[in-house]
Amino acid sequence: MYKKKGATKSEQMVDGYRGEGVTRFLENFSLMDWEFTEDAAFLALCDSFRESGETSAMEFLANGEGAFHFQELTQNAAGEGVDLSDSDLLDEFQQEVIETMETLCRD
């Protein structure tokens, strides 16, 4: 789930499972609101992944060129109102990008 900036209190809930009173934002922001696979940074990431010959998207994102394109993609996400400042949300987004790369970006 991706957290939009400016979520209201009505979009929050207490995490009762842990019983810690942790506040989480309910997110209605889905990939239908921002389709990152159509973003120029993702397309460049995909092209670079194909050209690299790397078989693992995770390994590719760990190198300079992959990391550069992923950073650009996260900046574009911020421009679309997706708040990835929370490390859990960023990790979730990165995992989704990796899975999508491994599905769509293979020759």
Tens digit of each residue's pLDDT (9 = 90 or more) over 52-91 = 999 999 999 998 999 999 999 999 999 998 889 999 999 9
**pLDDT(4) > 80:** no
- Within a domain: 24: no
Q: What is the 3-state secondary structure (H, E, C) of 44-84?
A: HHHHHHHHHCCCCHHHHHHCHHHHHHHHHHHHHHHHCCEEC
Q: What is the pLDDT of residues 11-54, one digit of tens each?
A: 333 333 343 333 333 343 444 368 999 999 999 999 999 999 99
Rounded Cα distance between 42 and 3, Å, is 20
Count: domains in the chain: 1
Rounded Cα distance between 61 and 56, Å, is 9
- Within a domain: 6: no
Does residue 15 contact residue 9 with C-beta atoms inside 8 Å? no
- Within a domain: 12: no
- Within a domain: 87: yes
Cα–Cα distances (Å) from 11 to 21, 28, 31, 37, 84, in that order, read 15, 9, 18, 27, 17
- Within a domain: 21: no
DSSP letter at 20? Answer: S
- Within a domain: 94: yes
**pLDDT(7) > 70:** no
**Mean pLDDT value across residues 91-105:** 94
Helix (H, G, I), strand (E, B) or coil at 35: coil
Q: What is the pTM of this model?
A: 0.69
In angstroms, the first-to-last Cα distance of the chain is 29
* Residue-range definition of the domain harbouring residue 100: 31-104
- Within a domain: 90: yes
- Within a domain: 80: yes
| pLDDT at 107 (0 to 100) | 67
Ramachandran bin of 53, using left for φ above 0, alpha for ψ from -120 to 50, beta for the remaining angles = left
